[in-house]
Amino acid sequence: MRPIVMPVTRHVPSGDQATTPPPSIVRERAALACLLLLTVLFAAGFSWLSVLRHLAFQSHAFDLGNMDQAVWNTLHGQVLRFTDMEVGDHVLTTRLAIHVEPILIPISLLYLLHSGPASLLVLQACVTATGAVPAYLLARRLSLGPIVALAFPVAYLAHPSLQNALLDDFHAVTMSAALLLWAFYFAWTDRMGWFLVFGVLASACKEEVSLLVGGLGLMLLVRGRRAGLAVAVGGLIWFLLCVAVIIPHFNPGGHSPYLARYAYLGHGLTGVMKGVIRHPGTVISVLTSATRRDYVDVLLDPPAFVSLLGLPVLLPALPGALIDMLSADPTMYSGYYQYAAEIVPFVVAAAVVGVAACARAGRRAVAAESLAPVLALLVVAASLVSTRLYGFTPLAAGYTIPGVGRHQSVETSLLRTIPPAAVVSAADEIEPHLADRRTIYLLPALHPTNGPVAEYVVLDASVPSLPVTPRILHDTILRAEASGDGIEAARDGILILRRGVPSRRLPASFYSFIFTGTPRHALSARWGSLHLVGVTVHPANGDVDRSRPAIEVESYWRLSGPAHGSIRFLLSPVFTGFPPPVSRWTVSTDSPTLDWLPMGRWPSGRRILVASLPLLPDTYQAGNVEVAIQVRGTHSLSGAPRRLDSRTVLIGTVTVRASY
Give residue 367's pLDDT: 54
Is 215:229 a contact under the CB 8 Å cutoff?
A: no
Tell me the HSE value of 292 on the side-chain side, using a 13 A CA sphere. Answer: 16
How far from chain centre, in Å, is Cα 461? 24
Mean pLDDT in residue range 527-540: 93
> ∠ CA(591), CA(410), CA(550), 5° rounding?
35
Helix axes 318-325, 290-300, angle to 10 degrees: 140
Among the ranges given (2-6, 170-174, 453-457, 516-520), the one the predictor scored with the smallest mean pLDDT: 2-6
Confidence of residue 416 (pLDDT cuts 50, 70, 90): very high
Is 368:511 a contact under the CB 8 Å cutoff?
A: no
Nearest residue to 373 (alpha-carbon basis) of 384, 359, 354, 386: 359
Cα–Cα dist 369/238, whole Å? 45
Give residue 467's pLDDT: 85
Chain segment 26-69, per-residue pLDDT in tens: 899 999 999 999 999 999 999 999 999 999 999 999 999 999 99
Give residue 6's pLDDT: 43
Chain segment 240-258, per-residue pLDDT in tens: 999 999 999 999 989 899 9
Confidence of residue 411 (pLDDT cuts 50, 70, 90): very high
| Torsion sign (Cα): 580, 583, 584, 587 | positive
Mean pLDDT in residue range 549-578: 92
> Would the pLDDT of 7 be above 70?
no
Chain segment 168-212, per-residue pLDDT in tens: 999 999 999 999 999 999 999 999 999 999 999 999 999 999 999
Task: Name the β-bridge partners of 494.
Answer: 460, 491
Give residue 506's pLDDT: 94
Whole-number percent of the chain with pLDDT over 90: 85
Cα–Cα dist 312/300, whole Å? 14
- Whole-angstrom Cα Rg for the chain: 29
Chain segment 625-643, per-residue pLDDT in tens: 999 999 998 888 988 888 8
> Would the pLDDT of 592 be above 90?
yes
- How far from 522 is each of 79, 535, 565, CA to CA, in Å? 55, 7, 22
Cα–Cα dist 130/107, whole Å? 17
Nearest residue to 444 (alpha-carbon basis) of 465, 420, 462: 465
Helix axes 209-222, 227-241, angle to 10 degrees: 160
Confidence of residue 406 (pLDDT cuts 50, 70, 90): very high
| Torsion sign (Cα): 42, 44, 46, 49 | negative
Chain segment 475-485, per-residue pLDDT in tens: 999 999 999 99
Confidence of residue 19 (pLDDT cuts 50, 70, 90): low
Chain segment 254-272, per-residue pLDDT in tens: 989 999 999 999 998 999 9
> Would the pLDDT of 472 be above 80?
yes
Q: In one letter, which amino acid is 130?
A: T
Cα–Cα dist 346/90, whole Å? 40
Chain segment 105-149, per-residue pLDDT in tens: 999 999 999 999 999 999 999 999 999 999 999 999 999 999 999
Residue 240 CB partners (closer than 8 Å, separation 6+) = none
Nearest residue to 96 (alpha-carbon basis) of 210, 181, 204, 178: 204
Nearest residue to 301 (alpha-carbon basis) of 268, 262, 347, 260: 347
Chain segment 283-309, per-residue pLDDT in tens: 999 999 999 999 999 999 999 999 999
Residues in the chain: 660
444 against 658, higher pLDDT = 444
Element (H, E) at 327: none
Cα–Cα dist 611/616, whole Å? 15
Neighbours of 122 (CB within 10 A): 20
> Would the pLDDT of 2 be above 70?
no
Is 61:432 a contact under the CB 8 Å cutoff?
A: yes
Give residue 8's pLDDT: 45
Confidence of residue 369 (pLDDT cuts 50, 70, 90): low
Give residue 183's pLDDT: 98
> Would the pLDDT of 455 be above 60?
yes
User: What's this model's pTM, rounded to 2 decimal places?
Assistant: 0.93
Cα–Cα dist 598/579, whole Å? 32
Mean pLDDT for the chain? 93
Residue 75 CB partners (closer than 8 Å, separation 6+) = 108, 109, 111, 112, 115
Nearest residue to 492 (alpha-carbon basis) of 516, 470, 475, 471: 516
Neighbours of 549 (CB within 10 A): 17
Q: In one letter, which amino acid is 294?
A: D
Cα–Cα dist 195/483, whole Å? 57
Give residue 365's pLDDT: 58
Tell me the three-class secondary structure of 149-181, residue by residue: HCHHHHHHHHCHHHHHHHCCCCCHHHHHHHHHH
Give residue 535's pLDDT: 96
Residue 26 CB partners (closer than 8 Å, separation 6+) = none
Give residue 541's pLDDT: 81
All domains of the chain in start order, with CATH: 27-58+116-390 (no CATH), 59-98+405-515 (no CATH), 517-656 (2.60.40)
16 against 610, higher pLDDT = 610
